[in-house]
Chain A
Amino acid sequence: MLEIIGLGCVRGERRLFGNVSFTLEPGGLIWIQGGNGSGKTTLLRTLCGLTQAMAGEVRWRGEPIQAWGEDYRRELTYIAHANGLKEELSAQENLLVAARLARQPVSRVEIGGALQDMGLAGREHLPVKFLSQGQRRRAALARLTLAQPRPLWLLDEPFNALDTHAVAGVRQIMEGHLARGGMIALTSHQDVGVQATDTQTLRLDG
């Protein structure tokens, strides 16, 4: 369970948001909304522990994430706005490196399957620099299929650059994760459309 209590963030001299509170239960999804520059990415980074909050606290399973230390990072998967793919490596190599660094034991067969799910079959061995923006996003999101044991998914604009077919695929993966008791916090400018028992929305404007 993820608890956000009175979270406030400052970027430079500017107050981005203050007093944000919500609780994410297993199977729950929160859709973080807001205009450009309203602090959606900063909020997600704060939930990861990459950015320090100016006020408030992020608690995971009842403990502040600072107390969890490195173990907290074992509980989450963060797909940032940038895809985090190395252009010189193929999609398969990228996923293998990412999984190893995240300490997720996966086989090449599983990676192949994840890429196939995202419609990248036949392009697994192509260096990422030859892929289109949408295909790169698909390759980055293929990490989700491999990250199923991680309960908390933090997704920054997951549907960016994706076509409708891929969006439907990602929705399906997210629904599967929620059904298994996972938690998702995501930002999106387009409709999330994920069927979940517990869906919250949070507006950061103002």
Chain B
Amino acid sequence: MIRTLGHIVARDVLLAMRRRADVATTLFFFVIVASLFPLGVGPEPKLLRAMAPGILWVAALLASMLSLGRLFDADYADGSLEQLMLAPEPLALVVIGKVVAHWLISGLPLVLIAPVIALQFDLPAGSLGTLLLALLLGTPLLSLIGAIGAALTVGVRGGGVLVSLLVLPLYVPVLIFGAGAVDASATGMDASGHLSILGALLLLGMVLAPWATAAALRISLE
């Protein structure tokens, strides 16, 4: 079971390595969206510092959503999703493998580059660690929730817009507690409450989202 999980992750990561442009698109989108705000609102350090957590999280949300279209659609189009569903494993396991790969490809790079982006907002050095931790807890949750939306819209024309409508409202708690954690630590308060809730949400997502995604895939491919 664990080996099959590894095989699925390895497969998707290998595919992403063959299509590096796709991975770079997500990352550049995040960098550019986050960099546009200082240009747009002006170089007022206090304002930027106050806005930084929210902007970084909204940019991460949008970047993560941008990459959802690739989660199942390419596999659906060439028939390999059907073959994945015929693997002698629970479908939820296949889903977990694909979500882990999706996070490694589109979530982890964001987490790693976010502290660098945060510097241009003059975020205090002390809260960079909190930002990293919050993103580390939050981005896997984005992939998990996004997978449900992506599975529901597999093979639907114009599915990209539909995914945003389905998934963005569900992203709201992640946004609130993720940005809240960074905000709290930037203003010198304790961020552990926010981080704990984010961690609890992640655990809940890890348990429920794969089953929901598997059910959605079965309906979509019926």
Contacts and interface: CB of A to CB of B under 8 A. Distances in A.
A82 B7 contact: no
Interface in A66-87: 70-71, 73-74, 76, 78, 80-87
A101 interface: yes
Interface string A83-105: 11111110001000110111100
Interface of B is mostly: helix
Nearest to A72: B88
B41 interface: no
A88 B86 contact: no
A86 B88 contact: no
- Contact-residue size bin, chain A (C-beta under 8 Å from the other chain): 20 to 34
A177 to B, nearest CB: 18
Interface in A22-47: none
B221 interface: yes
Contacts of B14: 89, 93
Given A50-B85, A103-B4, A82 B221 contact: no
A97 B88 CA distance: 14
A76, A98, A127 interface centre (most CB from chain B within 10 Å): A98
B87 interface: yes
Interface string B80-107: 1011111111100000000000000000
Given A88-B15, A89-B18, A101-B4, A50 B78 contact: no
A51 interface: yes
A52 interface: yes
A48 B80 contact: no
B8 interface: yes
A48 B86 contact: yes
B88 A103 contact: yes
Contacts of A50: 82, 85-86, 221-222
Interface of B: 4, 7-8, 11, 14-15, 18-19, 77-80, 82-90, 221-222
Nearest to B89: A70
Interface of A is mostly: loop
A52 B219 CA distance: 10
8 contacts: A74-B88, A78-B86, A80-B83, A84-B78, A88-B15, A101-B87, A102-B83, A103-B4
A156 B80 CA distance: 15
Contacts of A103: 4, 87-89
Given A73-B88, A80-B82, A88 B7 contact: no
B76 to A, nearest CB: 9
B83 A86 contact: no
Contact of A73 (B15, B18, B78, B86): B86
B88 A88 contact: no
A89 B17 CA distance: 11
A86 B15 contact: yes
Given A70-B90, A101-B7, A102-B88, A78 B82 contact: yes
B81 to A, nearest CB: 8
B86 A82 contact: no
A84 B83 contact: yes
A183 to B, nearest CB: 17
